[in-house]
Amino acid sequence: MGTVSYDFSNETVVVTGGSSGIGRAIATQFGAAGATVVIGDVRVDPKDTDATTPTHELIENDGGVATFERTDVTDPDEVEALIGVARAAGGVDVMVNNAGLFVESSWEDLTPTELDRIHAVNVRGVFFGCQLAALDMLDRDDPGVILNTASISSELAQFGQVQYDASKGAVKMITRGMALELAAHGIRVAGVAPGQIATEFIEGWTEDATETEAFQKPVPLGRAGTPEDVAGAYLFLASEAAGYITGELLWVDGGWQLG
């Protein structure tokens, strides 16, 4: 297959949930492409079992420019502070609303507290991330790109995941609704829908996971994806190559939805 490279020099990219997993891969790939990366997360240290260096330090060690801002995306004031850090670096060119939470529970046992918690991160966090990034772009009259981490659960139900499916379905509609509202301003909004990705997002999934009892059906490509498999989709959607794409979800799932 051919190769592709991106140049995000002189652009500022914000990645929530950028300390671990998919967010870490997104941040490091944007950093390698020359972007100034602003990472927002509730923790600076990665959760990944094979990683010890914080993401922003990893980018800097490779010659890039990055910073970390402790951010709880359920609090719009903290998201606004994160946007302020990006504003000081020139303003948000690409906003990646990636922070997410997975709570596995049967519908019988799910508590109101658990439901509120997952929606606070996955829905409230994404909405205000979109809102505040868009307001920064409009204030500077410099339209950019907003990317949201959706999921195969945005469209497909899975056992034991009613609450997660509902939250990711909301991410899909936030993406589509914001894309419609912001198109007149030249701001594109799109999403990435990862499938079964081997990260610490779901306890027990590791990078060498393939077909285990944790999976509910086989992946046609024969393995779980890695964060690196997913991250390239964000760079593509943020680039000029995707300049006529808005309101769409790009599925990165190894063909999972085909079966």
Q: What is the mean pLDDT of residues 95-122?
A: 93
Which residue segments constitute the domains of the chain, with CATH numbers given? Answer: 12-258 (3.40.50.720)
Treating both helix axes as pointing N-terminal to C-terminal, what angle do 162-182 and 112-119 enclose, rounded to 10 degrees? 30
Given a cut of 50, whether residue 196 has pLDDT beyond it is yes
Q: What per-residue confidence (pLDDT) applies to 158?
A: 84
Contacts of 211 (CB under 8 A, 6+ apart): 218, 219, 222, 223
**What pLDDT is recorded for position 60?**
98
The mean per-residue pLDDT over the stretch 215-228 comes to 80
Residue 4: exposure state from Cβ atoms within 10 A (0-12, 13-18, ≥19): exposed
The stretch 14-24 carries a mean pLDDT of: 97
pLDDT, averaged across the chain = 92
Q: Would you say the C-alpha torsion 27, 30, 31, 37 has a positive or negative sign?
A: negative
**Each residue of 87-108: b (16+ CB within 10 Å) or e?**
bebebbbbbbbbbbbbbebeee
Helices of type H across 70-161: 76-88, 112-119, 125-140
Model confidence at 200, in pLDDT bands (50, 70, 90)?
low
Do 199 and 21 form a contact (C-beta atoms < 8 A)? yes
Active-site residue set = 164
pTM of structure: 0.93
Residues 227, 152, 213: CA angle, nearest 5 degrees:
75
Closest CA to 59 of 73, 74, 46: 46
What is the distance in angstroms between the CA of the first residue and the CA of the last residue of the chain?
25
Residue pair 73/217 in contact by the 8 Å Cβ criterion: no
Position 206 pLDDT exceeds 50: no
DSSP state of 120: I
Mean pLDDT for 125-141 is 98
Q: How confident is the model at residue 30 (pLDDT cuts 50, 70, 90)?
A: very high
pLDDT tier, 138 (very low <50, low <70, confident <90, very high otherwise): very high
Residue 78's CB is within 10 A of a number of other CB atoms, namely: 18
